Chains A and B, each alone.
Chain A
Amino acid sequence: MGETMDNTTDFSAPALVEGFAHVVEVEGNMAWLVPESGTSCGGCASASACGSKGIGTTASRLEARRFQLVNDAGLRVGERVVVGIQENAVLRASITAYAIPLATLLIAGTLAQWAADSNFVTMAAMLAGLVFGLWLARLRAGQLMAKGELAPRFLRRASMGEMCNS
């Protein structure tokens, strides 16, 4: 029974969203990776030939998004790997980063408009609401980080010619 269970898919395990990254630096037991550029057309390694890459895929922008992994797999500089994050991590991160500040901004603005009915007061209240929301987002992001829900994990080395949408 136990052997049978080992050969089946564990549907209770959280699904992972896969992405590609290049190893740019190895320091002791840690590896620094840079995600591959993404474009609105969904291309990745082929993005260099894509006219829509625009300002979103410059080397400096990608460098700013570099991240660290524990190098248990013995990764070397220049290797292309597949990393994964939990499927609902993007949703949680999006809600934390955008929905919380937006909600506080709109609530503050609505209350100010109802109380004062002045454009300047409403604008000031919205600004204050935005700052408060960003502070809440920071707290929430800290909680998610502590649970490890925002951290990508190494899955495997990418095979030759493997694409993100293949």
Chain B
Amino acid sequence: MKEYALLIVSAALVNNVILARFLGLCSFMGVTTRIDTAVGMGLATTFVITVSSMADWAVGAYLLEPYNLWYLRTVTFIMVIAAAVQFTELTVKKVSPPLFQMLGIYLPLITTNCAVLGVAILLVEQKMNFINATLFGFASSVGYSLVMVMFAGLRERLALADIPRLFAGPPIGFIVASLLALAFMGFSGMTS
């Protein structure tokens, strides 16, 4: 149980996908203007990263490794992620068309989110077993969602703040992101 707890803390906070590994930065800056859109994007990404981590592990363990096809892992994982997003989209559409109308816009953004591919490559390179790979994918995406929501909250407050014209908009956003990254550096050293 301790091993799982350390894995979750490490993936979510210490080696945060956005602030430590610098993955998924386009959605980090683009979809964080409102908290509700950040939550929507975060939950959708969490679902897709967790499901695609499971699928990527299975493809790696039962297809790429036995047939010595590791050199195809990047293109294979991209296909698996695209299939996972398509599966999610079709399922949400089938389960509830109103939900699809409201949330469908986030799913295509996830297909092109490098955080999803980055997590998949990291988990196979670390030679994890299935449950660890799933937890790693889940915890990484929780860390991604946490930072998205925190940053969206900060940006909502920044929108009301009196900021010098030269710093208004993306510049102050980048400065705040750097301060947030510095704050997350406080977690470094907790786990490897």
Residues of A participating in the B interface, judged by any CB pair closer than 8 Å: 17, 35, 38-42, 52, 54-57, 61, 64-67, 85, 87-91, 93-99, 101-102, 105-106, 109-110, 113, 119, 122-123, 126, 130, 134, 137-138, 141-142, 144-145, 150-151, 165
Contact = CB atoms under 8 A, between A and B. Distances in A.
Interface stretch (B11-19, B39-47, B63-71): B39-47
Given A40-B31, A122-B131, A165-B33, A95 B95 contact: no
27 contacts: A35-B101, A39-B30, A52-B30, A54-B108, A55-B111, A56-B107, A57-B108, A66-B101, A87-B36, A93-B99, A94-B39, A96-B96, A97-B92, A101-B47, A102-B47, A102-B138, A106-B134, A123-B130, A126-B54, A130-B51, A134-B91, A141-B96, A141-B98, A145-B98, A150-B98, A150-B102, A165-B33
A128 B81 CA distance: 21
Interface in B76-110: 91-93, 95-96, 98-105, 107-109
A126 B134 contact: yes
A150 B99 contact: yes
A88 B37 CA distance: 10
B105 A38 contact: yes
What 9 pairs between A and B have smallest CB-CB spacing?
A56-B108, A141-B96, A40-B30, A98-B47, A150-B98, A94-B43, A98-B43, A119-B130, A90-B36
Contacts of B39: 90-91, 94
Contacts of A119: 129-131
Contact of A91 (B27, B36, B51, B99): B36
A148 B100 CA distance: 15
Contact of A89 (B46, B51, B102, B109): B102
Contacts of B20: none
Contacts of A40: 26-27, 30-31, 109
Contacts, number: 124
Contacts of B33: 42, 165
Given A40-B26, A98-B44, A101-B47, A88 B36 contact: yes
Contacts of A137: 95-96, 99
Given A55-B111, A122-B130, A122-B131, A94 B104 contact: no
Grouping DSSP codes into helix (H, G, I), strand (E, B) and loop, the B interface class, with mixed when no group exceeds half, is helix
Contacts of B111: 55-56
Nearest to A127: B54
Nearest to A120: B130
B114 interface: no
B112 A54 contact: yes
B180 interface: no
A109 B105 contact: no
Contacts of B40: 90-91, 93-94
A113 B99 contact: no
B102 A85 contact: yes
Contacts of B43: 94-95, 97-99
Nearest to B39: A91
Contact of A105 (B50, B92, B105): B50
Contacts of A87: 36
